[in-house]
Chain A
Amino acid sequence: MDRRDIHVLAAGTVLPGPPVDNAELTRRFSMPPVWEEWIDTFVGTRSRHLATDLETGQVRWSLADMGEAAASRALQAAGLGAGDIDLMVASTASPDLLMPATVNVVADRIGVDGVPTYQLQSGCCGALQALELARTMLLSGGRRTALVVGAESCAKHLDLTVDVAKLPTSEQINGVLFGDGAGAVVLGTDPVPGTPVLRGVTQRLVGLGREPGQLVEWFGRADRHTDRQAVREEYKAIEESVPPMACEVLDELLDELDWKETDVDFLLPPQLGGRMTERIVGGLDLPGATEVSVVADIGNTGNAAPWFQLEQALPRMREGDRAVGIAVESSKWIKAGFALEVC
């Protein structure tokens, strides 16, 4: 065993509240039945979980609440405690506050202190950016165990008083695509039998000269009453660009590792929406791989999504199995992937 191997020891996740299906979402926003049919037909996401109680408007889970629960579950699954953690990296596009960073609130809640902590401001590639940062820090020596957390909450953007029909389509689409949740993984330098080794992580910006595909504003005292649209998704650019970018990530990972397409046993594809993920998987053309997707049931959970997929994949991976995970971020266009192998 290569002593520089980084092992994925365990994953843990949490979803806030009960699933909200398309019928309930449609009813709550007083939209006509055709809206529900459209989500079923074109988005293909059946349900999602929300930190906000749709009946009362009360936010029942903060991002830190979800991060704490996921981190605790991952640590428990790894059989480790807060004192074993040598560094923490979190990623999110929806922090509770700009300061303090949610990673440090979560660290405090679970009893982690006196170690380096980082929080990445990121979209759908954030989980893999966090993974790469944690892996690099573990490889640099002196640290044995890292906790990586990804979490997302739509609560700030879920205005239950708004007439959704009057919103621009680029904002409406966000309301049906995304879901809330958190996931965490524990990485370690010590070999643990049966745990997969992180064979590679790749992530890079490819947005030179390109308009952003996903925008999320933030407001302070001086501009809090601005008319600027809080969230905007250029879904046509995303539909066009994400499938080929996912193929590029797969090709690059396989080349780098000298793996063949037939070597991949598990595929963790980008989790945009049920239909989009189906299209992406079709284009990746890995018929021998078992797809691990969660998006149709829990929506696009952004920075948490890969950890939900990994939590499902880990117990299914046997000795010799290989898995590839892919994420594409349309904000300023980032593509990322990672590869695991059980030795």
Chain B
Amino acid sequence: MTTLDEFLDFVSQELGLNVTTDDADRHVDELPGWDSMFLLTLVTALEQQAGRRILLADALQASTLRDVHELAVDA
């Protein structure tokens, strides 16, 4: 999962949120149905896949899915 599109597919599958490339730069709070529990679920799934920790504090700094993707790639 290195590309943004792969990451967005992952988000759609894991969270059941229908997100496209157009949503990558929207503030996560603007995504329909988004809330802090989705961030938790997403970080948990990303950690599992990356096999490394992602700090919640860092995830909370991410305002868009593109930011979260960068965290995941960095991890």
**Chain A residues proximal to chain B, CB less than 8 Å:** 31-35, 37-38, 41-42, 165, 169, 172-173, 235-236
Contact with A along B33-72 (1 / 0, CB 8 A): 0011111110111011000011111011000000000000
Cβ-neighbour of A32 out of B44, B57, B60 (below 8 A): B44
Rounded to whole angstroms, the CA-CA distance of A21 and B57 in the bound complex is: 20
**Residues of B participating in the A interface, judged by any CB pair closer than 8 Å:** 35-41, 43-45, 47-48, 53-57, 59-60
In the complex, A42→B60 CA distance in Å?
11
How many angstroms from the CA of A165 to the CA of B45 in the assembled complex? 8
Instruction: Enumerate chain A residues within 8 angstroms of B43, measured Cβ to Cβ.
Output: 34
- Within 8 Å by CB of A173, from B37, B47, B55, lies B37
Which residues in B have their C-beta under 8 angstroms from that of A236? 35
Complex partner residue of B38 from A35, A37, A165, A169, CB under 8 angstroms: A169
- Whether B38 pairs with A34 at a CB distance below 8 angstroms is no
Question: In the complex where A38-B36, A236-B35 touch, is A31 in contact with B44 (Cβ < 8 A)?
Answer: yes
Given contacts A34-B47, A42-B40, A165-B41, 17 further A-B contacts (CB under 8 A): A32-B44, A32-B48, A32-B53, A33-B53, A34-B55, A34-B56, A35-B40, A35-B44, A37-B55, A37-B57, A38-B56, A41-B56, A42-B36, A165-B48, A169-B40, A169-B41, A173-B37
CB distance from A276 to the nearest CB of B (A): 12
